[in-house]
Structure 1
Amino acid sequence: MSDTIKELTKQIKDQPKDASLWLALGNAYVEENRLEDAIDAFSQGIICNPFGVDCYHMRARKYLTLRKCEFSVADFAMAARLDPDNVDNFYYQGVAAYMGKMYDRAVEALLKTIELMEAQHVKETAAAVDWLWMTYTAMGKTEEADAIASTIQADTPCLPRSNSYKKRVLLYNGTIRPEDFLDRQSLKNTDRPELYLISELFGLGNYYIAKGEPEKAIPLFKEVRDIPTWHDCFHYTLACDYLKEQGL
């Protein structure tokens, strides 16, 4: 147990109804990867302050990590009601809904995400567009998927951390050819090369599945599975889930 957790636990004994202390304790548990303990702490914070957004948001994030998607969507929905201008409350709600195969909900949340990002000049619409393309594709709505992918172009502004999402959307809309998509050397020069490699390997594999060529996805997803880090990221989970479904 860290000194931070010990100190916060001591403070909570004196001030058990202070939601900010429970939030801090939950975040401290997250630092130690004690996610169930973190969820319990955030829940206590919600009991103390049922209309405080932070504990809902953080609990939703941890539920998503644990793949408790319905609980995650519920908490993000509440967080979005309490703080409707926070893009993350809608973006991660959309991701959680997609991961839980609640596709109608994912569409609703991701469309709202794009609306807020554009209104707030957030240069990460490519990420939301990517998840929305995947959602429409999973629903068999090819026209809607093509239409949303067309909203991202080569000159669309994008933060560096969303570059892999942008590349994926440019793949979907035909700007980048599949054979030109992976640039492993460029990824080595980024701040998180293995994370972005996972994202791009999954994106290319998922594209092949959408185009009716699942056999091309298998080696890409196997490479994802063999990467030794970032096993808690969404695309690692999705790639491994697909391999498991195929008995691989």
Structure 2
Amino acid sequence: MNIRKSIYFIFVAGVFSCTAPPSNNSVVTANYNSENATVIQGVSLLGDTLTSKIDSASQQDQIKKLQQAEKKYAEDPSMENLIWIGRREAYLGRHDLAIRTFTKAIKEYPEAFEPLRHRGHRLVTVRKFDQAIEDFEKASALMEGKEIIIEEDGMPNRLNIPLSNVQFNVWYHLGLAHYLKGDWERALEAYVECMKVSDNDDLIVATLDWYYMTLMKMGKKSEANEAIAVVTSDMEIIENDAYHKRILMYKGKLAPEKLLDVNAQDQDQKLQYVTQGYGLGNYYLAKGDTSQAIRIFENVLNTGYWSAFGYIASEMELAKLRE
């Protein structure tokens, strides 16, 4: 729905309370089984209203995990437990509540960089890039010289092995926020730092993919190709298969049409489709095939998976092309 028409949008907030968080260590709990609650989360780069809606049937597992996180925090009001509430809220699509929870954590733990990392991530999700950048820059200053902290997965990979770390996520998402603003120089600076904490093949291909695309945006094709020279077909990839395939395509090792060999209607494959779709659309855009790029970007948007980075990047490209 276009934001100009949002005045006609029925804003229902029956699932969650959106009042300010209490001053003590308790958190707001609610009836997550309420039906038909749709909440506006923000505005896309194309001017469309972004909404979320809790599906108490298909999301029952995530609802249960959020309730467990709230119970755990009530028993032990630690920063880590508070952050987990925000993460669970975000997995349910309630980025507004997640941002509120992370803000509470930031206020209570002003010297910690972890809640800034998570709030910045969700600010990117709702297209508030400047605010996200501010959070990530504060986090980068606070984490300087600190030991790498492995970040536990909220949605584990197939081997249930956590692969990322907090420092990686700060630099990675800072680079992304700059990239989505079209600030290639600052995005590149962030990805250079991100590479320093990309300590396994999954993190390497994720960082190098955006690093490559940033260099290509800057017209530095030879540097871009040099950067991905280290990527091979036999790398040990556990969860970032989409980024690995994108780079293999850039290197001419994988046919472009193979990238979208996934079912966009299958919920489990939708994220991969969106991620692959943006990479493929951008590949054609770099080659000057604008019509093919637009078609692919529009297909990405048709998935409705608006929280995915590939979706946001596709919005960015279409917005620029329509200017």
8 Å CA contact 2:171–2:191 kept in 1: the answer is: yes
What's the C-alpha RMSD, in Å, of the aligned pairs? 3.3
C-alpha separation between the residues in 1 aligned to 2:92 and 2:275? 25
Alignment partner of 2:247 out of 145, 169, 176: 169
Alignment partner of 1:131 out of 189, 210, 225: 210
Alignment partner of 2:278 out of 193, 199, 202: 202
Matched residue type, 1:171: M
8 Å CA contact 1:205–1:216 kept in 2: the answer is: yes
Alignment partner of 2:123 out of 63, 66, 70: 63
- Write the deviation string for residues 181-226 of structure 1: whole angstroms up to 9, x where unpaired: 43237x89x9821111111122111101111111221222222122
State the match for 1:153 in structure 2.
232
Task: Quickly say closer, same or farther: Cα 1:13–1:209, change in 2 above 3 A.
Answer: closer
Alignment partner of 1:234 out of 309, 315, 319: 309
Alignment partner of 1:113 out of 181, 185, 194: 194
- Count of paired positions: 238
State the match for 2:53 in structure 1.
none
- Write the deviation string for residues 12-62 of structure 1: whole angstroms up to 9, x where unpaired: 379xxx883864664565456443454344334333332012221121112
Q: Which has the higher contact order (CA 8 A, sep 6+)?
A: 2
Matched, 1:12 2:25: yes
C-alpha separation between the residues in 2 aligned to 1:38 and 1:146? 38
Structure 1, unmatched stretches of 5+, are none
Q: How does 1:23-102 map to 2 (within 5 A)?
A: 23=83, 26-27=86-87, 30=90, 33-84=93-144, 85=148, 86-102=167-183
- Write the deviation string for residues 146-173 of structure 1: whole angstroms up to 9, x where unpaired: 11122211112212x2111111111111
**What TM-score do you get using the length of structure 1 for normalisation?**
0.80
Higher helix share: 1
SS at structure 1 position matched to 2:240: helix
C-alpha separation between the residues in 1 aligned to 2:85 and 2:260? 41
Matched residue type, 1:39: I
C-alpha separation between the residues in 2 aligned to 1:5 and 1:40? 9
SS at structure 2 position matched to 1:197: helix
State the match for 2:155 in structure 1.
none
- Percent of aligned pairs with the same residue? 26
8 Å CA contact 1:64–1:72 kept in 2: the answer is: yes
C-alpha separation between the residues in 2 aligned to 1:152 and 1:127? 11
C-alpha separation between the residues in 1 aligned to 2:229 and 2:171? 22
**What TM-score do you get using the length of structure 2 for normalisation?**
0.63
Structure 2, unmatched stretches of 5+, are 1-13, 28-76, 149-166
